[in-house]
Amino acid sequence: MRIVLLGSRRNGESSSGNTILGREEFDTSGRTAECVKREGETAGRHITVVEAPGWFCNVSVENTPEGVKQEIVLSVSLCPPGPHAVLLVINPIKSFTETHRREVQEHLELLGERVWSHTIVLFTCGASLGSTTIEQHIEREGKALQWVVEKCGNRYHVVDNNKSDGGQVTELLEKIEEMVAGNRGHHFDFVAKIMKELMMRKKEDDRRAEERKRKVLKHRETLRSSGGAPYISDMRILQKAYLMTTQVEMLDMTLLNQDLNLSS
């Protein structure tokens, strides 16, 4: 079984990975800058767990560093041919606002709209709920959290990462198997869809970059003909346009190479 852990920083992704594998495999002491992949045997199943770097809380995908966004996209390629489940890790201790809802949607949909059909909400810090059931917690949090849970097909699970309880992991794996069955036995097939979306984004980025380039060059020509000097800010715009196009091309080539490796 192949699992990818996603979520904002400090929500317990690493601890959840350790809980699933039943041993300390993920570093819980600091920030994860790159995807980490670990494997093991749990409840009679061979499990592969990939943890992607968490995004900053209360930060839109537009302001998330490119490196983090690339790692999120590449996370699903580390467990070929694709994960059976994406676990969206949420800490119930923190209030879940509309801002959180938007950031979850934006970051998760870096993998495409279909990812929701393969996603389960994983609530960590189960002990913090006390006598409150997770259903009561979801109801009390309001529309923002309810939207996310419903978007995931009302699939959710609670774990206590401070508790050595194999039963909570077995139940999670059974929920994943049930979800896979509901998807007609299919895992999240990322390569073709993401490549198509990336190419569409690239074309749009190329178009915008070319438009910016034309405007800057035209402005420089106007200044040159009038005896002026091009502004530094204009050169920075041109440089930024070039870098944006290059970053998309690098990401496209990385995924293409992985696709070729899977086919060989």
Domain parsing of the chain, residue ranges: 2-182, 191-263
Q: How far apart are CA 60 and CA 78, in angstroms?
A: 25
Q: How far apart are CA 135 and CA 75, in angstroms?
A: 30
What is the value of pTM for the model shown?
Answer: 0.73
80: DSSP letter: T
In this structure, of 22-36, 60-74, 244-258, the range with the lowest mean pLDDT score is 244-258
Q: What is the pLDDT of residue 260?
A: 42
Q: How far apart are CA 126 and CA 162, in angstroms?
A: 9
Q: For residue 46, what are the β-bridge partners? A: 41
When mean pLDDT is compared over 29-33, 59-63, 100-104, 124-128, the highest value belongs to: 100-104
For the chain, counts of helices (H) and of strands (E) = 8, 6
- pLDDT, tens digit, for every residue of 55-98? 998 889 999 998 899 899 989 989 988 999 999 999 988 889 99
User: Is a pLDDT exceeding 50 seen at residue 256?
Assistant: no
Where residue 202 falls (left for φ over 0; alpha for ψ -120 to 50; beta otherwise) is alpha
Is the pLDDT higher at 260 or at 186? Answer: 186
2-182 maps to which CATH number? 3.40.50.300
The amino acid sitting at 149 is: V
Strands 36-42, 45-51: pairing is antiparallel
Measured CA to CA in angstroms, residue 9 lies from 55, 57, 65, 150 at distances of 6, 7, 13, 23
- DSSP-derived 3-state class of residue 109: helix
230: DSSP letter: -
